Chains A and B, each alone.
Chain A
């Protein structure tokens, strides 16, 4: 290797990088934002060891108010009942519907269900964690009657499947569209296309359709192929799953179009796409459930399209939900797609000025 030439290239590349202010700024900001985000997500006293569903919600609210020192007149009976709710390292989740809680228990998503007013609890006999938390519960409430939840056990792979497929779709949609458009813009492919009668709308629509086809085809192939080996859990309809996947892909592609609408710098777009994709990977429920997360985190997750794709698909797969049941997620994805597409089309630039 010729060292002089090598060092000259290194120097030139360094100058280029440091003179690209947007890219430089991004490279500084991204790790800082990531550190702030992670410190927020994993802040607190540590994660709970067990999750217990409570179906009479009064008990949960009461325990929460006690913990902040609220002065309430309580009966001895209520105090005894709520003592269990103050057990450390157990997370208590309020359910308004017993059936949903039983589904979660049977799927090992929670470890125990308690109904204090009916002095009843539900346990999953196949779960070691359910067995252990039952022992803790019975130490204080030995007079409760035991019930067992019915249903097929859900594995982590079943639970995480929509997240993995959704994440894969997200990367394909964002980078496959956003990055490519910026590359086209940079190396003058867009300029060449602008010199033809092709309109911006035609170009953008073509990119959208092409990517929707690619993403849905690839996701279908992955799902069908893996299903032979894993025999995935599926309570809902494949048609509904396809529709929510289609809506999710559409919203993610339009987001990619919006992000790439003006930039000419591949390094900047790489940063912007990472800025878009990393929060979704961390907060959209891909790897872990957000059920017990702080409300502020849930609100942040709610503005991310992947959250609605994953949540909708997961409800179809694990709870047998229909499109009507997940109409909130469907509506949010439709609204997001409309907003992203409108803004993307408005801001889109062939960027032919030198």
Chain B
């Protein structure tokens, strides 16, 4: 179960003098959900498209099962692109038929419809699909040849929170079937929910890699406690060097019990108390010095 199915070695891609991917290395274990994380422009999509064989690398290699990737790799992998259009005027069922015809071995329509929850809109024109329905169809197309390796490039970008969570469930179902999933995302909560291992990229380079749990444990021992600003005496905030974040006071501590006792002793009301562990967003901020959300906003 721990065999590497994909090895990326010294991969570099230069576009017109701009280095989009810069000498990156990693390997992906069979049956894992592997996350490529980072803001827009970090080089995630370029990396994944080189791995898929869609674009060529300037230098470096991608190996599948220890062998250099060959042209028939498309029979063994499934791909969901970040931006792709579907043929206009075809229905969902007709689209499945079309893509089914491209492969030698395929899942049955019944299996795909069940796996990706397509039954409600099978006869709908592609142009009339909602964002969530469209992503489910694209996932079905990625799964159509029953691949062992599935690439999902920012599959939930643009979806509403409910649709995102529904899609996460679909990916969990795919994982349960023993598939290796390679996922790019700039949603850190998505990576925490789905990924066994992540690579964090920024400006074409890998800045950290490991399992989300290991990385958070490595960089954070503290817990964050939040209280409404109005409830905490100003003198106490200054004395303890706590941070004021908007309308809240942020208390960073590795001793939750003693901190809470201190607050009680000071007769600070605990109404609205919020306790949070560090997450991958905090990790990204710590590693790069800039917030992931700000990067995304800048790139929109």
Cβ contact within 8 Å between A197 and B74:
yes
Q: Is A139 an interface residue (CB 8 A)?
A: no
Cβ contact within 8 Å between B52 and A195:
yes
Among A188, A189, A192: residue with most chain B CB under 10 A: A192
Cβ contact within 8 Å between B99 and A188:
no
Distance between B62 CB and nearest chain A CB, rounded to angstroms = 15
Looking at the complex, which one of A188, A195, A196 makes contact with B85 (CB distance below 8 Å)? Answer: A188
Q: Is A187 an interface residue (CB 8 A)?
A: yes
Residues of A within 8 A of B74 (CB): 195-197
Question: CB-nearest residue of chain B relative to A195?
Answer: B79
Q: Is A194 an interface residue (CB 8 A)?
A: yes
Q: How many A-B residue pairs have CB under 8 A?
A: 45
Cβ contact within 8 Å between A189 and B87:
yes
Interchain Cβ contacts under 8 Å between A and B, 16 examples = A187-B84, A187-B85, A188-B85, A189-B86, A189-B87, A192-B79, A192-B84, A194-B54, A195-B81, A196-B74, A196-B99, A197-B72, A197-B75, A197-B103, A198-B102, A354-B55
Q: Is A147 an interface residue (CB 8 A)?
A: no
Q: Known: A197-B74, A354-B15. Contact between A189 and B102, CB under 8 A?
A: no
Interface residues of B in 61-104 (CB under 8 A from A): 72, 74-75, 79, 81, 83-87, 99, 102-104
Q: Is A71 an interface residue (CB 8 A)?
A: no
Residues of B within 8 A of A194 (CB): 54
Question: CB-nearest residue of chain B relative to A352?
Answer: B54
Determine the distance from Cα of A189 to Cα of B192 in the docked complex, in whole angstroms: 31
Q: Is A129 an interface residue (CB 8 A)?
A: no
Q: Known: A195-B79, A196-B74. Contact between A189 and B103, CB under 8 A?
A: no
Q: Is B295 an interface residue (CB 8 A)?
A: no
Residues of B within 8 A of A195 (CB): 52, 54, 74, 79, 81
Binary interface profile of B, 34-74, with partner A (CB < 8 Å = 1, else 0)? 00000000000010010010110000000000000000101
Question: CB-nearest residue of chain B relative to A194?
Answer: B54
Number of interface residues of B (CB under 8 A): 21
Cβ contact within 8 Å between B84 and A191:
yes
Cβ contact within 8 Å between A197 and B102:
yes
Residues of B within 8 A of A354 (CB): 15, 46, 55
Q: Is A353 an interface residue (CB 8 A)?
A: yes
Residues of A within 8 A of B54 (CB): 191, 194-195, 352
Cβ contact within 8 Å between B79 and A189:
no
Distance between B46 CB and nearest chain A CB, rounded to angstroms = 8
Cβ contact within 8 Å between A196 and B52:
no
Distance between B82 CB and nearest chain A CB, rounded to angstroms = 9
Number of interface residues of A (CB under 8 A): 14
Residues on A lying within 8 angstroms of B by beta carbon are 184, 187-189, 191-192, 194-198, 352-354
Cβ contact within 8 Å between B72 and A189:
no
Cβ contact within 8 Å between A189 and B85:
yes
Q: Known: A194-B54, A195-B74, A197-B103. Contact between A188 and B84, CB under 8 A?
A: yes
Distance between B284 CB and nearest chain A CB, rounded to angstroms = 24
Cβ contact within 8 Å between B55 and A192:
no
Cβ contact within 8 Å between A189 and B15:
no
Determine the distance from Cα of A305 to Cα of B54 in the docked complex, in whole angstroms: 36
Residues of B within 8 A of A189 (CB): 84-87
Which 6 pairs from chain A and chain B are nearest by CB? A187-B85, A196-B102, A188-B84, A195-B79, A192-B84, A197-B74
Residues of A within 8 A of B46 (CB): 354
Distance between A348 CB and nearest chain B CB, rounded to angstroms = 16
Determine the distance from Cα of A353 to Cα of B14 in the docked complex, in whole angstroms: 11
Interface residues of B in 84-132 (CB under 8 A from A): 84-87, 99, 102-104
Distance between B73 CB and nearest chain A CB, rounded to angstroms = 10
Determine the distance from Cα of A69 to Cα of B84 in the docked complex, in whole angstroms: 70
Looking at the complex, which one of A184, A192, A353 makes contact with B81 (CB distance below 8 Å)? Answer: A192
Determine the distance from Cα of A352 to Cα of B52 in the docked complex, in whole angstroms: 12
Cβ contact within 8 Å between B103 and A353:
no
Residues of A within 8 A of B104 (CB): 197
Distance between A26 CB and nearest chain B CB, rounded to angstroms = 23
Among B46, B52, B54, B55: residue with most chain A CB under 10 A: B54
Instruction: A195-B74, A353-B15, A353-B55 are known; give 16 further A-B pairs, CB within 8 A.
Output: A187-B84, A187-B85, A188-B81, A189-B84, A191-B81, A192-B141, A194-B54, A195-B52, A196-B99, A196-B102, A196-B103, A197-B104, A352-B54, A354-B15, A354-B46, A354-B55
Determine the distance from Cα of A166 to Cα of B265 in the docked complex, in whole angstroms: 93
Determine the distance from Cα of A86 to Cα of B84 in the docked complex, in whole angstroms: 68
Determine the distance from Cα of A192 to Cα of B80 in the docked complex, in whole angstroms: 8
Residues of B within 8 A of A188 (CB): 81, 83-85
Question: CB-nearest residue of chain A relative to B82?
Answer: A188
Question: CB-nearest residue of chain A relative to B73?
Answer: A197
Distance between A60 CB and nearest chain B CB, rounded to angstroms = 58
Residues of A within 8 A of B52 (CB): 195
Residues of A within 8 A of B99 (CB): 196
Question: CB-nearest residue of chain A relative to B86?
Answer: A189
Residues of A within 8 A of B79 (CB): 192, 195
Residues of A within 8 A of B75 (CB): 197
Question: CB-nearest residue of chain A relative to B71?
Answer: A197
Question: CB-nearest residue of chain B relative to A197?
Answer: B74
